[in-house]
Amino acid sequence: MDKKDWIWVAIRIFGIYLVVMGIVGVPKMIGSGIIASFLYDDYQYYEDASSDVDTSDTFEKGVAELHKSTFERALSDLILGLTRVILFLGCGIYFLRGGKRIFKLVNYEHTPETES
């Protein structure tokens, strides 16, 4: 095998790796979406009731802050997971289908110009 064949093998292996990483991110994305959808009603309730909560009732404030932070964390995990899945799967499929631009970039050999 020559250099070009090894470059193609490396590009394809990296493509497989990215596709696997994209697929691994799907369950976390689904789980975060389910948690965010379950907590959305509680988030709205505590967001509306936060102005009505008495300042002396620290338990209610703690529960409201817990629901709010959990919902925001689940929502950020959902967005992060979706971004990872789209990027990893997109790049992985590009590498598996050829990755011609990457191949040209890696295979480029610079020949220095000689002054005469």
Question: Is residue 116 included in any domain, yes or no?
Answer: no
pLDDT by residue for the chain (116 residues), tens digit each?
888 888 888 889 999 999 999 999 999 999 998 988 888 877 676 666 666 655 556 777 777 788 888 888 999 999 999 999 999 999 999 998 888 888 888 878 777 776 65
Question: Is residue 114 included in any domain, yes or no?
Answer: no
pTM summary value: 0.70
Domain holding 11, by residue range, is: 3-103
Question: Is residue 115 included in any domain, yes or no?
Answer: no
**Max CA separation in the chain (angstroms):** 87
Question: Is residue 113 included in any domain, yes or no?
Answer: no
Question: Is residue 112 included in any domain, yes or no?
Answer: no
The helix (run of H) or strand (run of E) holding residue 54 is none
Question: Is residue 8 included in any domain, yes or no?
Answer: yes
